[in-house]
Amino acid sequence: MRIILAEDNDILRKSLSFFLESKGFKVDQFSDGKDALEAIESDNYDLVLTDINMPGVSGMEITQYIRQTLNSEIPIIIFTSSSVEQTELDSFDLGANEFMSKPVSPAVLLVRINKLLNTRV
Amino acid sequence: MNNTKFPIPYNELERLAALKRYNILDTLPDHAFDDATKLVSYICGVPIAHISFIDESRQWFKSEIGIGVTEVPREISFCQYTIMESEIVEINDTFLNDRFKNDPNVVGGFKIRFYAGIPLTTPDGFNIGTICAIDHVVKELNENQKNALSLVAKHVIGQLELQTKNIELNAQKKIAERAVLAKDSFLANMSHEIRTPLNAVIGFTELLSQTDLNNTQLDYVESVQTAGENLLLIINDILDLSKIESGNLAIEAEPFNLKKTLKHVYNLLKVKVPKDVEFNLYLDAEMPDMVIGDQGRLNQILVNLTGNALKFTEDGDVTISVKKVEDTDDFYTLRFSVKDTGIGIPEDKLKTIFERFTQAEESTTRKFGGTGLGLSIVKQLVELQKGEIQVKSKPGRGSEFSFTLIYKKANTAEIKVNKVSDNNLGKLKILLCEDNPLNQKLAKSVISNFGFELDIAENGEEGIELLSKNEYDLVLMDLQMPVKDGYQTTEYIRNEMKLAIPIIAMTAHSLVGEQERCYKAGMDAYVPKPFKQAVLLKAIKTVMSKDFEHGYKRKINFSFLDEMGGGDADFKKEMISLFIDKIPNQAAQLDEAFKNNDYDTVKKLAHHMKSSMDIFMLEDLSNYLSDIEEEAIIEEFTAETLDKINILHCGIVDVVKVLKELC
């Protein structure tokens, strides 16, 4: 399973990707939204993890682009440290499948990923 | 001007006062009364029954069946007449009664045909209300029913009395509880107030005795010292008792040398032995040297019991003996006994001698002195250590007090021996925060005796100011000071100034939990006042010794990181070096952006850094960053924001230091 991870905080991004790889996923990580989007367009992934606040292109924009321009149904999980209800609603409006507040619990993240991929790794 | 249309009892004013006393009018429904009303309805076989009270203008129903209103005007009530009587009023057929045959409630309204009412009479003889049975048909009550009705009436009055008494009792109970609390705090405060000047008296006497004195002067000074110490003992007794009573006396569990303690008690009391008395100390050969327990309290118990024994023995012997009775893997059980051949205690007094202010003989106080608190404290101290005290005695033959205590075995590794000599400390520079001039002077003399340098701050604020200007090795901190007290000052030094300088608390409070509170606030040691030079010096040595671990050190919780990395050591190391590389830089950028009022950058950086803090579970720093981010969003920086940035900065420096040690 290939996951694309877009998160600008190095420590968090590296931690998450180490964690996911230890669980058997292949993770491509990006600290810039624009690079992440280019990778999504050119490669095949099974799931997108993206922070909402990203330099270049934001998580919202990535989600919108995937759903409306690429017409892809790839599962998307959005991270945010905002606890504002509207942000969560907007994310779902744009077509995100899951919304997780930071700090993200790795165990919960894993459960959600597996649920979305509908497989057990 | 009397336009009332109802009969008025001759004692109406007193009757109304009696009614008022019960506070029953307009109260909520009550099961007890409802049950009584039901009972009346069952007994008399009537559809309408009530319990009511009559004030100046109305009949108010405390409980009713078949009436459906809460009150009626007094002048239309049947019961206005009943309260004029002392017995049951029964009207079998209202149609045949001249007074009622044209009553609106007979010809219409409640259609009352039968009425039986009995006055509710208070114990002091006032008819404050009625209890009634009413029917729409002609009826006659038999003797049993009438008797039952008066019994219910009595019961209702009983109920009322009980409720009133309960309310009074509750009020009295609250008063009593407040009084006890006031007494306790008075005792504690008073003892504290007395101890403060006494502290100065004893301390200066100690200093005075070290100066050049001739023999007579030395004798006088020693007398002052003894008197001062005795006074202190009494005050400590009172303070102990109030602590025990409020359940606030804590028993310590520290390793101590049992044999030394016993020998110390023996040597201490040897000077008080009358010339015809032999004073012995018998120790079990198998007795352990070191145990874990409360040395001070054992000392106190033994000094008290032995002191008594010596006081009441004119000739013969007084013997302290200790025997090991049990020895398990973890515990020693020891039996302590203090035996004398003194005046003894009469059998009928044996049970009460442990009570407060009780001595075997009324005359004892006059003849032998003492507060009468000693044995009461001893008993409670033994019981607090889960022991039991026993006494055997025969008048004229002597007494034996014995108790058994269980001590945890001391692991030799737990015993730290501190062998720092005075010279090792060199010339320490000490800051004293203390407002009382006498105590300042005393501390100054003592400290200079040690050869240390001392600066004095009148309060916490001043202390902080001096600390930020000068370098000190140690802070002596009084707890009670104006402006900023010892706790607040320590918290500021630890949390805001981020200084790890040793702080020793000095206090005359000796209140419960205070020691813990001191450690919690970040202090390293605790010296009770009045302090002895040796105790203070020991505390100073302890906190200054190299192996002394400062309680204050940031602990980093790696559990989140470990969950991410599944415990992979390389991964953890990589993350730690990332933190060390990135975060101090980002903190510097944050400072810069803050100084330039660059809200947008502050917002982004704070947000970014927060994620990193969360991974290392630095909750406090993460919270500061959240606050800073919020303040950047609303574009409003204040002095507090600057504080937060500074604290954050210090926190990060701290964390990086700890992380570097791990790499």
B339 touches B355 (CB < 8 A): no
- Closest residue on chain B to A105 (Cα): B560
B340 touches B318 (CB < 8 A): yes
Nearest C-alpha of chain A: how many angstroms from B659?
15
Nearest C-alpha of chain A: how many angstroms from B617?
9
Band the pLDDT of B179: cuts 50, 70, 90.
Answer: confident
| pLDDT tens track for A16-28 | 999 999 999 999 9
Nearest C-alpha of chain B: how many angstroms from A26?
16
Please check the confidence at residue B362 and state whether its pLDDT lies above 60.
Answer: no
Nearest C-alpha of chain A: how many angstroms from B615?
7
Contact check, Cβ <8 Å, A15/B608: no
| pLDDT tens track for B402-415 | 999 999 887 654 44
Q: How many helical (H) and strand (E) elements, i.e. helices and strands, does chain A have?
A: 5, 5
A76-to-A4, A50, A107, B424 alpha-carbon distances in Å: 10, 8, 17, 66
| pLDDT tens track for B433-489 | 988 887 888 888 888 877 788 899 988 889 998 988 888 889 999 888 878 888 899
**What pLDDT is stored for residue B469 in this prediction?**
85
Question: Considering chain B, what percentage of its residues have pLDDT values greater than 70?
Answer: 91
Ramachandran category for residue B214: left, alpha or beta (phi over 0 → left; psi -120 to 50 → alpha): beta
A114 touches A120 (CB < 8 A): yes
Average pLDDT over residues B603-626: 88
Q: Which residues pair with A29 in a beta bridge?
A: A5
Q: Which residue has the higher pLDDT, A61 or B510?
A: A61
Question: Considering chain B, what percentage of its residues have pLDDT values greater than 90?
Answer: 31
Contact check, Cβ <8 Å, A102/B611: yes
B582 touches chain A (CB under 8 A): yes
DSSP string, B219-250: HHHHHHHHHHHHHHHHHHHHHHHHHHHTT-PP
User: Looking at this protein, which amino acid is placed at residue B165?
Assistant: K
- With both helix axes pointing from N to C terminus, report the angle between B569-595 and A10-22 in degrees, rounded to the nearest 10: 160
- With both helix axes pointing from N to C terminus, report the angle between B619-633 and B639-662 in degrees, rounded to the nearest 10: 150
Of B566, B574, B612, the CB nearest to A9: B612
Nearest C-alpha of chain B: how many angstroms from A71?
31
Average pLDDT over residues B144-173: 93
**What pLDDT is stored for residue B372 in this prediction?**
66
A106 touches chain B (CB under 8 A): yes
| pLDDT tens track for B67-106 | 888 999 998 899 999 999 989 999 999 999 988 888 888 8
**What pLDDT is stored for residue B45 in this prediction?**
94
Closest Cα partner for B381 from B305, B327, B320? Answer: B305
Instruction: Please tell me the distance from the alpha carbon of residue B346 to that of residue B111, in angstroms, as a whole number.
Output: 80
Instruction: Please tell me the distance from the alpha carbon of residue B508 to that of residue B511, in angstroms, as a whole number.
Output: 8
- Closest residue on chain B to A14 (Cα): B575
DSSP string, B316-340: EEEEEEEEEEEE-SSEEEEEEEEEE
Closest Cα partner for A97 from A58, A41, A47? Answer: A47
> Among B3-17, B296-310, B527-541, B573-587, which is the least confidently predicted range?
B527-541
- Say which residues have a Cβ less than 8 Å from residue B586's Cβ, sequence separation at least 6: B605, B608, B609
> What SS3 state is found at B278?
strand
Cβ density class B414-435: b for 16+ within 10 Å, e for less: eeeeeebeeeebeebebbbbbb
Instruction: Please tell me the distance from the alpha carbon of residue B150 to that of residue B631, in angstroms, as a whole number.
Output: 77
Please check the confidence at residue B47 and state whether its pLDDT lies above 50.
Answer: yes
Contact check, Cβ <8 Å, A103/B582: no
Instruction: Please tell me the distance from the alpha carbon of residue B423 to that of residue B421, in angstroms, as a whole number.
Output: 5
- Say which residues have a Cβ less than 8 Å from residue B564's Cβ, sequence separation at least 6: A15, A16, A18, A19, A106, B571, B615
A84 touches chain B (CB under 8 A): no
Please check the confidence at residue B7 and state whether its pLDDT lies above 70.
Answer: yes
Q: Which residues pair with B476 in a beta bridge?
A: B432, B504
- With both helix axes pointing from N to C terminus, report the angle between B374-384 and B215-245 in degrees, rounded to the nearest 10: 60
Instruction: Please tell me the distance from the alpha carbon of residue B597 to that of residue B636, in angstroms, as a whole number.
Output: 9
Contact check, Cβ <8 Å, B565/A11: no
Give the distance, in angstroms, between the CA of residue A78 and the centroid of all CA atoms in the same chain: 5
> What SS3 state is found at B503?
strand
Chain B residues touching residue A102 (CB < 8 angstroms): 611, 614
Measure the CA angle with vertex B74, ends B68 and B75; round to 5°. Answer: 115
**What pLDDT is stored for residue B28 in this prediction?**
85
Instruction: Please tell me the distance from the alpha carbon of residue B92 to that of residue B46, in angstroms, as a whole number.
Output: 13
> Among A2-6, B57-61, B347-351, which is the least confidently predicted range?
B347-351
Fill in the DSSP letter of residue B495: I
Please check the confidence at residue B173 and state whether its pLDDT lies above 90.
Answer: yes
**What are the start-end ranges of the H helices in B549-568?**
559-565
Chain B residues touching residue A18 (CB < 8 angstroms): 564-565, 568, 571
| A-B contacts at Cβ under 8 angstroms | 52
A111 touches chain B (CB under 8 A): no
Instruction: Please tell me the distance from the alpha carbon of residue B25 to that of residue B22, in angstroms, as a whole number.
Output: 8
A89-to-A52, A84, B218, B346, B576 alpha-carbon distances in Å: 13, 9, 87, 86, 36
pTM of the model: 0.39
**What pLDDT is stored for residue B115 in this prediction?**
95
Contact check, Cβ <8 Å, B607/A81: yes
Sign (positive or negative) of CA dihedral B242, B245, B246, B252: positive
Question: Terminal CA-to-CA distance of chain A, rounded, Å?
Answer: 9
Contact check, Cβ <8 Å, A107/B563: yes
B229 touches B202 (CB < 8 A): yes
Contact check, Cβ <8 Å, B615/A107: no
Instruction: Please tell me the distance from the alpha carbon of residue B500 to that of residue B550, in angstroms, as a whole number.
Output: 7
Nearest C-alpha of chain A: how many angstroms from B561?
8
Instruction: Please tell me the distance from the alpha carbon of residue B196 to that of residue B506, in angstroms, as a whole number.
Output: 12
- Token pair 């149609």: residue: B95
- With both helix axes pointing from N to C terminus, report the angle between B143-209 and B215-245 in degrees, rounded to the nearest 10: 150
Cβ density class B157-173: b for 16+ within 10 Å, e for less: bebbeebeeeeeeeeee
User: Looking at this protein, which amino acid is placed at residue B247?
Assistant: G
Instruction: Please tell me the distance from the alpha carbon of residue B125 to that of residue B472, in angstroms, as a whole number.
Output: 82
E strands, B410-446, are: 429-433
Tokens of B135: 């029917």
Band the pLDDT of A121: cuts 50, 70, 90.
Answer: very low
Please check the confidence at residue B564 and state whether its pLDDT lies above 50.
Answer: yes
Q: Set out the domains of chain A in order of their start, with CATH numbers.
A: 2-117 (3.40.50.2300)
With a CB-CB cutoff of 8 Å, which residues 510-569 of chain B face chain A?
560-561, 563-566, 568
> Among A78-82, B423-427, B533-537, B561-565, which is the least confidently predicted range?
B423-427
Instruction: Please tell me the distance from the alpha carbon of residue B326 to that of residue B405, in angstroms, as a whole number.
Output: 10
Of A9, A10, A22, the CB nearest to B566: A22
> What SS3 state is found at A9?
coil
Among A5, A7, A13, A15, the strongest candidate for a mutation testing the B interface, having the largest count of B CBs within 10 A, is A15
Tokens of B306: 């032995």
Reported as type and span, the H/E element at residue B521 is: helix B514-521
B305 touches B268 (CB < 8 A): no
Among B564, B607, B622, B659, the strongest candidate for a mutation testing the A interface, having the largest count of A CBs within 10 A, is B564
Please check the confidence at residue B529 and state whether its pLDDT lies above 90.
Answer: no
**What pLDDT is stored for residue B435 in this prediction?**
86
A65 touches chain B (CB under 8 A): no
- Token pair 């102990």: residue: B240
Tokens of B563: 């969950």
Tokens of B31: 């099961």
Among B561, B600, B601, B615, the strongest candidate for a mutation testing the A interface, having the largest count of A CBs within 10 A, is B615
B15-to-B18, B33, B123, B266, B396 alpha-carbon distances in Å: 5, 21, 12, 74, 67
- Closest residue on chain A to B570 (Cα): A18
Instruction: Please tell me the distance from the alpha carbon of residue A25 to that of residue B154, in angstroms, as a whole number.
Output: 85
- Closest residue on chain A to B586 (Cα): A9
Instruction: Please tell me the distance from the alpha carbon of residue B118 to that of residue B357, in angstroms, as a whole number.
Output: 56
**What pLDDT is stored for residue B413 in this prediction?**
46
| pLDDT tens track for B22-38 | 989 888 888 889 999 99
> Among A109-113, B179-183, B239-243, B377-381, which is the least confidently predicted range?
B239-243
| pLDDT tens track for B616-637 | 988 888 888 988 998 898 888 8
Instruction: Please tell me the distance from the alpha carbon of residue B457 to that of residue B84, in angstroms, as a whole number.
Output: 81
> What SS3 state is found at B347?
helix
Of B565, B611, B612, the CB nearest to A18: B565
Instruction: Please tell me the distance from the alpha carbon of residue A46 to that of residue B177, in angstroms, as a whole number.
Output: 71
Contact check, Cβ <8 Å, A19/B566: yes
* Phi, psi torsion values for B474, nearest 5 degrees: -165, 145
Please check the confidence at residue B322 and state whether its pLDDT lies above 90.
Answer: yes
| pLDDT tens track for B180-231 | 878 777 777 777 778 778 888 888 888 888 888 898 998 888 888 888 887 8
B192 touches chain A (CB under 8 A): no
Please check the confidence at residue B312 and state whether its pLDDT lies above 60.
Answer: yes
A103 touches chain B (CB under 8 A): yes
